[in-house]
Every structure is written in C-alpha cells, then in structure tokens.
Structure 1
C-alpha cells in the first residue's frame, strides 16, 4: 500500500495587530464626533454653545470608542479606552479654568504693563485749585509693599517652621504629648481661613499699639500664621524621606546628633526643603484678605513696615477693581496690571524653586 501524501492547508498569517483598533482611531474618532455634534447643534439650535458642544462631544466620543472597541477588540480593552477617555476629560476640565484665567490676566494686564507702570508710584491725586481728581498709573508702592511684607513673613516663618519640623522628626518620640499637641495645632493652622489670620494680627496689634494698628509688620504676622504650617509640613515630609541608614552611619562614627542633623540630614533634604519654602512664599504672596485687614491700603509709597498702611499687589488689584476712582477704566486697567505682575512674581518664585531643587538635589551633587 503506497503512502499518499496530502498537502496541508496553509495556516492564516498571525499578526500582532489582529483584533486591535489602529492607533490613529482615537484622534480621528474624536474629530469626527466633534464635527458631527457641531453640525447637529447648528442645524437644530442655529447656534453653537461651546459648553454644550464640548459636553455632548465627550459623551458621544466615549460611547463610540467604547462600542467600537467592544466589537473589534474585547470588553477589557473597551473598558480601558473608556476609562482613559474619562481621565482625559477630567484633565481638560481642570485645565480649562486655569488656562482661561491665565489668558484673561495676560491679555488684560499686558495693555497697561510697562516699565513706567512698574517703577512709578500711582494713585488718585486731588487738585485743590481745579477740584479735579487725576489717576496716575503706577504700581511701585505695591511692589515694594509686597516684597517687604513677604520678606518679613519669610524671615520669621522659615526658621520656626524648619526647627519645628526637626523637633517632630528627629527628637520627639511618637507618644510624646508635646509632639501630638504640635501636630494637632499644625493641622488646625493648615486649614484656617486667611481672613481669620488677618483678624488675629489686627486684634493683636490693636491691643499693643491702639486702634490705628495698620502696618506692614501686622500683615506679615498674619501671613506667618498661614506660612508656618506649610513650611512645617513640607520640611517634615522631606526629613522623613532621608534614609535612616545615613543617620546610623553618622552616629556610628561618633558624630553628635546636632551635627548629624546639620551636616547629613539637612544637606540631604535641602532640595525638598528649599522647594517647600519657595512654594510657601508663592502661596502667601497672593493673599488679599489678611493684608487688607491688617495693613489696609494706600496709594502712597511706604517703606516703613512698623507704621501706617502699606500696599501690596494683591490688595491693589482688589481695591482698584472693587473701588474704582472717577476714571473707572483706568482703575480697572491698573487692577489687571497688578494681577499680571503678581502672576509673574509667582512664576518667578516657582522657577527659583525648580532651579534650587535641581542644584541642591543629591544626585546633582
């Protein structure tokens, strides 16, 4: 009996992309869904509401991509695509107000912001002869006041915050009553409203110097109440990230605890500590309520933080927009200019934090 050979049927080619949607399907589906929703809204309502269009586009896109992935791929992959779409939608919802605010401040403030506006003392001047009130653009008094008040608050808050964090991490035992009390007070101060800090500072200085207690130092004390818990928390977390092996190695060499903290622990955590301090400064530099209560506001240039009201950029933006002078458009323009200056100042502080974090990072050294 002769053997008969049968030709085997060739197996279908196996590809890694079988059962998968192409990579370009998501952006294409998003554009197509957006175009269809826009066309439907224009046909039905004769008007394109941006908010409604974005909401319906997101819903329709999630439905389309979920159903398409379920048919071509599988249920697990479809769930992954839908959840990823939800995450992207949440990210867009979070970014839209930020971008809108930033664009509004830049567009409105750029019209008035120049070197003369920054380095000139502005305000309303009353001419007794002509009985006219003229508005002079300028923010130098607010820039000087912001730097003075923020500088005093930083000089007071940073040492207190860092030393408190060192005590909590390096010296206090977990069951120490004083440690528990400090931790509780720091938690309470972290959530305290800023206006309460201003009322506290104003009440304190009213008892000391009398009813006319408006001063830059009073505002700085109010900012200290807000800044100290931020510095304590950020420094405490950075110190806890320092490996215990570094401390043990230092102790094994006979180095005292104080020298170990200064030369080993703080140097290792210097990057995070400085970053936390700079971010805390950026947090308080834009405060309005406590400064408005404790330092009031003025158009005059005041470089003495211990007497008379003092102006800051945040208070200048608030007062010029809420209480405009005779020329409402000029006052509002100065408010936008002060707001843009404040945003630039915060951006500078954040850039300094990034640079310092890079320079003092252990890997960089």
Structure 2
C-alpha cells in the first residue's frame, strides 16, 4: 500500500514540484494539495493522509499554530518544508519541539543538477515519517536565568583537572529533540561532548544556540580547532564533517568538507571513526534515533578500540534505524530508553573515572 501524502504550501510552484517528486516514487502518492492550513484541515478529514508536508510560513494561519493544533487534536507524522533563513530555522526548530518528525529545505529551482539528490532526500524523509512514533511533547521554555555573557560559553573551573573521558553522540530523524533531552540532563562538569546530527547548513547554529539556552552545559556549533573542554558540547555544522583529533595532550575539534559518507555530511560514521582512532577507551559512544545506518560501523570501530557504547531503545525512538543497525553489528554494550540514557552514561563514567561527576 502506498504512503498517502498531503502537501500544504502557499506557493503553487512548490506544491507542483513537491507533487511531482512524491508521485514519481513507486511507494507513495499525493492525495491532496492545500494552499493554507484552513483548506488542509478539511482535506485531512477527506483523505486521511499518512504524512503531511507543511510549509513553515503561510497566510491565514501560521504553520506553527496549525501544527500545534494538529498534534493536539489529530497527531500525525509531519515533515516541515522550511526556507533557509534565520527566521525559517528558528521556526523549524520550534516545529520539531511541537512534534514534527523532520524537515526539508525548499527546493532551489535554479539548481537542476541537484534535484535528483533533493528528490531522494524528500522521499527518504517521508518514508521515515510514515513509520515514526508520534508522541506529544512538553513545551520547554528557555532558561532566562542562564548567564552566558555576550554569546560566550560560560567559563569552567579547573579544566586541566578534568577527566579525559569524552561523550560522542550521533543522531538523525527525531534527533533534535532526543539530543535536547539528553543534554538537558548533563551536569555542568560532564566530559566534553561531540555531536553529529543530520541537519543542513543554516540550521545547526540556531540549533546549538537553542540547546545552549536550555542546558547546564555550554553548547556551540563547532568552528573547528576548538580545544574540547568539560561542560561543553560541540555540534557538527551542517556543511562539514566533525572529527576528533589530538593536539599534544589535548583533544581538539576538526572540520572536514570532504564528500558525504552514507549520503550525509556531516556523517556520524566520520565522527565515530575519529573517536575510535584518537580517543579509544576514553570515549563513550551514544547513538540515538535516526533513519538509515550511518554510525553503525563507526561505532563498531569505537567498540573495538575500547570505547563503551550505548544505543537508544526502539520504544523511545522516533525512527529505530540507526540504533537498530548499530545493535545488529554488535557495536553496542547497553540499550536504554531516552530518558534513562543520560543516567546510564553518567553511571558508567562515574565508575570508570578518577572522580565522580556531580549530577
């Protein structure tokens, strides 16, 4: 049975392009198109779609307002269609908080050579969304009491006395909320954290800033060349692979704009491979919700190098793809629900570090 898709977008051109892309797939079909949420509301009742693609900014009713009402009254898989603007990225991240499964950027009509790759990306995201577990999410407010100065990450005490342990995280579909939930439980003196989340350039900086406002630790989009400090997390930018390297006695970030790996840049496998080579037993790997198999072989390399690895369980994943693949190749040591993983990781670190972490 084909995946039924309803397209909601105020642009006739975008609706036409999206319809052509989706109907070209053998396993999906467009059952309706709507120029705004008001018309979409009636079409949802008439067509009962499996997946909704929803424009972020529309007339008559904002995409976020519609999404919030939809997830409360008729929860269903939603893929947001966003513009590559600062406002667009902020709204898109908010949409993911409200329960959207994933997002795509609007197609660039002037770049025909990239349409095949874009078509594959949209089709993959719709397939993943059709299998996603839709859950209501609590509304999280930014912590107005967190003091970060003029955009500078908070200073830490005695960084040289910190453990050399590192936490290495990979995620994809559903990962923005999973990463947020994980990091919000990290104490201010936790080991340095490196993160690769499949996300296009233009969105990772806003994502890092949002995380930084919510967490006890400092979070930033990596610029490359940063010394990795405890109490800080470094997110791969959407345009580059994030790698871990050594510089003398220190761990340092490195960015690489090489070709995509597993069709992704940034790639989780690239980050995990670098952790295996340069951190070995000092690394703790965490693979979270996501579509596909990116990260599985890199996590196996980490395990073989002495790292201790965790995977999110199926019940708490939006899409149980990446964790399942990592488990299948024997790359993980423990599997746990998302809300339990931070405690599991910290518990492991506390028993394998020279000092206990303060929770």
TM-score (ref. length: structure 1): 0.23
In proportion to residue count, which structure has more strand? 2
- TM-score (structure 2 length as normaliser): 0.24
